[in-house]
Amino acid sequence: MIYARKQKQMITRLMEKGIKDTAVLKAMAAVPRHEFVQPGMEFQAYDEKALPIGFDQTISHPYTVALMTQTLQVTPHKRILEIGTGSGYQAAVLCSMGARVFTVERIGPLARRAAEKLSAMGFRFLSRTGDGSMGWTTYAPYDGIIVTAGAPVSPTSLLDQLTEGGRCVIPIGSEEGQMLTLFIRAGDELKKIEIEPLSFVPLIGKDGWSTSK
C-alpha cells in the first residue's frame, strides 16, 4: 500500500534526524497519519511539512511531533495533558504509547472532529473545548504537558499543573517563531532547557496571545 511505504520512509527520515526513542518511532509507524489530514492531502501526510487542517490551524511536521514526544519521555500509564488537540494526530501518538491522555482544544469544530476520529480508532482519552493556556485543573497534576502552539511567555497556569519530576514541552517566543523549551519540575523550582527553534501557530488564551494576527 502506498501509505505504508511513505510511512516507512517517514520513520527512516526521523531516525536520520536524530529521533532515537523506539517507543516514539513505533507509535508513529502504527498511527495512520493520512487519516488526520484534510481530504485530498492524504498523499502528502508523511512528507516533512505541516499541513492545513482548517480554522488557520495545522498538523505539525512529523519531525516536530517526534521531537516533542521524545523530549516528553512518555511511558505507559503516564498522565499527559495536551494543549491544542488540532487534528488529533499528536493525541493518537500519545495514546498509542500507552499514555493516559487529556487534551484541550479551543476551536469547537476541530475538537469534535478530532474526538470522533480518535474514538473511531479505538483510543481512550478525555477531551474538552476551552482555553488551553489555563490547562485542565480538574485532572491535575500531570506527568507531562505538551503544548502544540507558541506562547509569548512561560504560562504559569500550565507549569503549576506539573507533578514532581513532570516535564512540559512548549514553544516560547514571538508569533513569527519560537524556541521549543523543556521545563522539568523539581519541588518549587523549574529547570529550563532550550531544545531548538521551531515555528508554531500562536497559543490563544488568557495565558497566551490575546488574538491571532
Name the residues annotated as catalytic. Answer: 60
27 Cβ contact partners less than 8 Å away, ≥ 6 residues apart: 69, 93, 94, 96, 97
Q: At CA 138, angle to CA 132 and CA 142, rounded to 5?
A: 75
What does each C-alpha distance from 56 to 59, 169, 200, 201 come to in angstroms? 11, 22, 11, 8
The C-alpha cell at 71 is 523530549
Please name which of 80, 210, 213 lies closest in space to residue 148, comparing C-alpha atoms: 80
CB 136 within 8 A of CB 106: no
Please name which of 111, 82, 113, 110 lies closest in space to residue 95, comparing C-alpha atoms: 82
CB 164 within 8 A of CB 143: no
53 Cβ contact partners less than 8 Å away, ≥ 6 residues apart: 36, 37, 38, 59, 86, 87, 110
CA torsion sign, 107 to 112 to 115 to 120?
Answer: negative
